[in-house]
Amino acid sequence: MGPVVAPPRERMKKDGEPTEYFRASVGAMLVDAAGRVLVLRRADVAEEAWQMPQGGLRRGEELQHALERELQEETGILAEHFRTIAASTDWLAYELPEAYRNEKVGRGQVQKWFFCEFLGDPEAIKPDGVEFVAYKWAEQRRFLDLAAPFRRSVYERLLSDFALHLRLMAEESPPSLDRR
């Protein structure tokens, strides 16, 4: 089992001083048949900020259940519309810039990532309208450029960790009819 993060009211040292914490969460590198990565545009950031689906792990929640719940909440993608192929071997962390820290996420997030194949209809993807307002499928080489700088090191690590799966999917995907 991965790290357990106590609720904010329990994050106090004996002397009453609050401690800093990283929120435990899951993330999905969801890839379509063409090997492109699903990214979502954040609603709460003025400039365009794109990220892969991710979200908090509830106390006692199984990782796969959290993954399925987060994908459905954020994108409308149901569990039967994707297949989990692999999980990151390590929990990966990123630190948030000071302006983005709050009681919900603390100093940043520590995440278990999953490599997933999308099996559904792209027309069924519906960003939640609260956290995310749009989605797109990004080429592997391009999606790093779309990510917030504080997330890039995690995303680079995922490209490395899941390289074999990405390569296999690219080899198996049918040739694109779109030649633009």
- Residue 176 pLDDT more than 50? no
The predicted model scores a pTM of: 0.85
* Residue 56 belongs to domain with CATH number: 3.90.79.10
> For residue 13, is it within any domain?
no
Q: What is the pLDDT of residues 44-57, one digit of tens each?
A: 887 888 999 999 99
Q: What is the pLDDT of residues 54-106, one digit of tens each?
A: 999 999 999 999 999 999 999 999 999 999 999 999 999 999 999 889 888 89
> For residue 5, is it within any domain?
no
Which residue range is the domain that position 89 belongs to?
A: 20-170
> For residue 165, is it within any domain?
yes
Report in angstroms the alpha-carbon separations of 8 from 13, 16, 102, 106: 12, 13, 10, 9
Q: Give yes or no for a contact between 105 and 52, defined as CB atoms under 8 angstroms apart.
A: no
> For residue 134, is it within any domain?
yes
Report in angstroms the alpha-carbon separations of 61 from 3, 26, 108, 179: 12, 11, 20, 44
> For residue 178, is it within any domain?
no
The dihedral formed by the CA atoms of 39, 44, 49 and 54, expressed in degrees to the nearest 10: -40
Q: Name beta bridge partners: 27.
A: 54, 113
* Residue 175 confidence (pLDDT): 52
Q: What is the pLDDT of residues 93-143, one digit of tens each?
A: 999 999 889 888 899 999 999 999 999 999 999 999 999 999 999 998 898
> For residue 12, is it within any domain?
no
* Dist. CA 170–CA 66, nearest whole Å: 27
> For residue 9, is it within any domain?
no
Tell me how many domains the chain contains. 1
> For residue 8, is it within any domain?
no
